[in-house]
Structure 1
C-alpha cells in the first residue's frame, strides 16, 4: 500500500477527525473502512439498544439501566457498525468508484485490498460474536435473527427504491435486544419501540440519501430520496410523526412516567425542527441534519434513564 494512500482522508469525513489526526498511518485505511473517522453511525446503531435497556429498567422498576449491558451493546454497536460498513463497501466497491462522495473510500481508492478488507471484516465479526454470546440465551437467539437483514442490506438498492427500510430493520434491531436480555422474552413495548426506531431510521437515512441522489440516478441504484423527490418534506414528517407516536405507545406499555414522556416530547421537537430546516438541494445541510439524529436518540434515552433513576 503506498504510504501516500494512508494519508488520504475520505471525502465526507470531518477534516479534524481523530483517525486522520492521530491514528498510526498504517491503521488509518482500516479505521476509515470501519467509518471510525465518522462515528455517527455507531451512535445511531447504539441508541435503539440503549432505548431498549432503559425502557426495560422503567418497566421492571430497576433503579437504573443495566450499565454492563449498555457497555456490551455499545461495544457490539461499534464492532457491528464497522463490520457492516466493511461488508457494504466490499459489495459496493464498483458502485462506490462511480460516486463522487464515495470514490475516496479505502476500497475504491486502493488504500485497502479486497482480501485485506475481508480479513478485517472477520475480525470485527468476531468481536461482535463475542459480545453476542456474552448475553443471555434468548437475547442470543434474537440477535441471530438479525443476520439475514444485515446480509441482504447492501443488495437492496439494486432491486428496490426502499433500501432505507432494510436499514431500518438492521439499525432498529437493537430496540429488541436490551429488553430480550433483561426479561428473556419480547413484549408489546419493545415491539413498539422497534417500530418507532424503524420509522425514525427511514426518515433520517432519506435525508442522508439526498446527498447522493444525482449519482445514484446515474449509477442506477434506488433510494427513498429518489423515490420521494420534492415530496420528501411531508413524507419525512409522516415518518417522524409515526416514530413519535410509536415511542409514546412503547412508553405507555412500559408504564413510563413523566420523565419518559418529556424525552419523547423532546425527540418530537427535534424531529420537527429537522423537517422545518430541510432543504433537499443543500447536501451540506442534509449531512448536518442527518448527524443531528445522534442528539435526537440521546433525548429518548435520557428521558427513559432519568425516569428509572428518579422514579419515586
Structure 2
C-alpha cells in the first residue's frame, strides 16, 4: 500500500479530473444524440474504470520512459523513480495492471471499444517519446488525451459521429495549449539537452502566443458544437465561462514572469473540464 501510494502521487492521480469529465461529456452527448437517453449506470462505471486504467498506464509509462531525463533536470529530480522511492519493475507491474483494467472495461462496454483499443494504446504509449524528436509533442499529447471524449462516446453508444470529433478537437487543442504553457518552465533545459518543445524551439514569448491560438481553436470547437447539437443556452454559458477561464490563464502567465504557471496549469484547467460537464448535463436536464 505504501508503494501504491507513492505511485499514485508520482502520476498525480488526482489530475484524472482533467480528462474524466470530457469522457463523461462524450458519453452524455453520444447517448443524447444517438439514443435519446442517458448512459446506463453500467456504462458510467466502466467508462470511469477505463479512464482510470488508461491515464494510470500512460502517466506511469511516461515516468518510466523519462526517468533518466527527470534525474538530470533539477525540477524533476525528486520524482519517485529518479529519487529511488519506487523501482522500474514495480512501475511496470502497475502499468500492466492498469492496461488490464482498461481492456476489461472496454470489453464490458462494447466490441467497437475493443476494436479501437490498439489505437488508444499506441497513443498512450508513444506520446512520451515525441519530445525526443519533434516540437509537435504538445499536439500529440493533446490528441492522446482527446481520445477520452471519443472513448466516452463509443463506450456509451458503440458508434462514432462527427459531433464527437468536435469534442476531440476541443480537448486536443485545450490540452496542447496548457501543455505549452507548462513547458515554458523547462525551455532552457530542453534546449540545453536537445529535447523538443515549442518553448525550446520558438522561445517563451512566441510559445505563449501559440498556446493562445490553440486555446482559441478549442473555444471555437466547443462553440461550434452548440450549433450542431440539441444543446441550448445553458451549454453556451458553460462555453463562455470556459473561454473566460482560458483567457485568465493567459493573463497571469507572462514571458518575463512564469511564477504563476502552476496556478494556470492545475486549478484552472480542472475547473474548465468540470464546468463543461456540469453545464452540459444541466442543459440536457432543463
CA RMSD of aligned residues (A): 2.0
Please say if 1:272 is aligned against 2:233: no
> Displacement of 1:61 after TM fit?
7.3
> Displacement of 1:45 after TM fit?
2.4
Distance 1:208 1:182, change over 3 A: same
1:55-204 equivalent positions in 2, closer than 5 A: 55-60=29-34, 62=36, 64=38, 66-204=40-178
2:239, 2:40 → 1: CA distance?
Answer: 21
Please say if 1:44 is aligned against 2:18: yes
Instruction: Give a deviation string over 1:130-154, Cα, whole Å, max 9, x none.
Output: 2121111122223332122222111
Distance 1:254 1:65, change over 3 A: farther
- Name structure 2 gaps, 5 residues minimum: none
The corresponding residue for 2:236 is 261
State whether residues 257 and 307 of structure 1, in contact with CA within 8 Å, keep that contact through their aligned partners in structure 2.
yes
Question: What TM-score, normalized to structure 1?
Answer: 0.84
> Displacement of 1:301 after TM fit?
1.0
State whether residues 27 and 154 of structure 2, in contact with CA within 8 Å, keep that contact through their aligned partners in structure 1.
no
> Displacement of 1:252 after TM fit?
2.2
Moved over 6 A (4+): none
Distance 1:146 1:277, change over 3 A: same
1:276, 1:34 → 2: CA distance?
Answer: 28
1:128, 1:284 → 2: CA distance?
Answer: 37
1:204-243 equivalent positions in 2, closer than 5 A: 204-228=178-202, 229-243=204-218
The corresponding residue for 1:28 is 5
Instruction: Give a deviation string over 1:76-109, Cα, whole Å, max 9, x none.
Output: 2222222112111211111111111211112111
State whether residues 48 and 173 of structure 1, in contact with CA within 8 Å, keep that contact through their aligned partners in structure 2.
no
Distance 1:66 1:161, change over 3 A: same
1:75, 1:124 → 2: CA distance?
Answer: 9
Please say if 1:305 is aligned against 2:281: yes
Worse-superposed segment, 115-124 or 224-233: 224-233
Instruction: Give a deviation string over 1:15-42, Cα, whole Å, max 9, x none.
Output: xxxxxxxxx5444333333333xx22x1
SS in 2 for 1:161: coil
Worse-superposed segment, 66-75 or 145-154: 66-75
1:307, 1:275 → 2: CA distance?
Answer: 28
Question: What TM-score, normalized to structure 2?
Answer: 0.91
* Partner residue of 1:293 out of 269, 277, 280: 269
Distance 1:279 1:127, change over 3 A: same
State whether residues 172 and 198 of structure 1, in contact with CA within 8 Å, keep that contact through their aligned partners in structure 2.
yes
Please identify which structure carries the higher helix content: 2
State whether residues 10 and 79 of structure 2, in contact with CA within 8 Å, keep that contact through their aligned partners in structure 1.
yes
Instruction: Give a deviation string over 1:169-204, Cα, whole Å, max 9, x none.
Output: 110001212222333221110011101111111101
> Displacement of 1:299 after TM fit?
1.4
The corresponding residue for 1:10 is none
